[in-house]
Amino acid sequence: MTTIEDYALLGDLHTAALLDTAEAGRWLLAPGAGGPCARRRYRGDTLVLESEWDTPEGTVRIIDFMPPRGQAPDIVRIVQGVSGAVPMVGELRLRFDYGQIIPWVRNVGGAIEAVAGPDSAWLRTPAPLEGRDNRTISEFTVRAGDTVPFVLTWAPSHLSRPKPVDADRALADTLDFWERCSERSTVTGRWRDDLQRSLIVLKALTYRPTGGIVAAATTKKTPTTGCGRCADHGATSRTPK
């Protein structure tokens, strides 16, 4: 069963996303041979997540983040080849209205558009994409030194498509944003890293236009923490790793 420690938090100070382990994921991006992630960490004092897999074919890294809000909310995933040549697989299963609605999906100018009533999502990547059983599948090989970006963007369906996001530029901007936020902290001492990470999580749960902080980045998510009193908002009880 999934526990709070299995989740990682991404956010852009307007909304947030939780990354789960592979068995519960809805946007799988991992080596085709499977296997657990070997290393997972945030880069320094930021909300940019790095996950690495060691496989018989080589090592691959995936960088996940949400850039500071621009035109629309974006989730950026960058696949980096560290060594060897690793076959990769991506599986995106978009669902709207709390998972009840399967969107209408089509290819528009090389991007995938998924529409469900007032909502739309756009997936852009240079990797090959194909529809299969109400899923969007991507199969490719990443070699040492390769970089393969994926950008998923939400937008109201009645508006024109959102502007493309340059993944490398977005990564640099996101790192700069969180590093500047963290530089204002004066936390020191034995527990500095834990306290600093908690401050970053609280910042990520802040709604930037008003400064309000949400209780949790979940809706009725029930974690396994051994504490029955934490059923509804347990996501705030521990810092995601």
pLDDT score, position 233: 31
Greatest alpha-carbon span in the chain: 53
The count of domains in the chain is 1
Opening angle at CA 141, ends 81 and 168, nearest 5: 45
Would residue 241 count as lying in a domain? no
**Structural domain contains residue 162:** yes
Q: How far apart are CA 65 and CA 67, in angstroms?
A: 6
- Measured between its terminal Cα atoms, the distance across the chain in Å is 17
**Structural domain containing residue 207:** 4-236
String of DSSP letters for 110-136: TEEEEEETTEEEEEE-SS--EE-SSSE
State residue 6's pLDDT score: 76
Give residue 45's identity as a one-letter amino acid code. Answer: D
The whole-number pLDDT of residue 83 equals: 98
SS3 165: coil
Angle between helical axes of 167-183 and 192-204 (0-180°, round to 10): 120
**Alpha-carbon span 22 to 33, nearest angstrom:** 13
Q: What is the pLDDT of residue 241?
A: 33
CATH number at residue 27: 2.70.98
For residue 83, being part of any structural domain is answered with yes
Mean pLDDT by 10 residues, the chain (241 residues): 78 90 68 89 97 96 95 96 97 88 92 95 96 94 98 95 95 97 94 95 94 80 43 32 33
Q: What are the backbone dihedrals phi and psi of residue 236, each rounded to the nearest 5 degrees, phi first?
A: -95, 0
pLDDT for 110 equals 87
The dihedrals phi and psi of 160, each to the nearest 5 degrees, come to -70, 165
| pTM exceeds 0.85, yes or no | yes
How far is it, in rounded angstroms, from Cα 201 to Cα 10?
Answer: 9
Q: Is 34 a domain residue?
A: yes
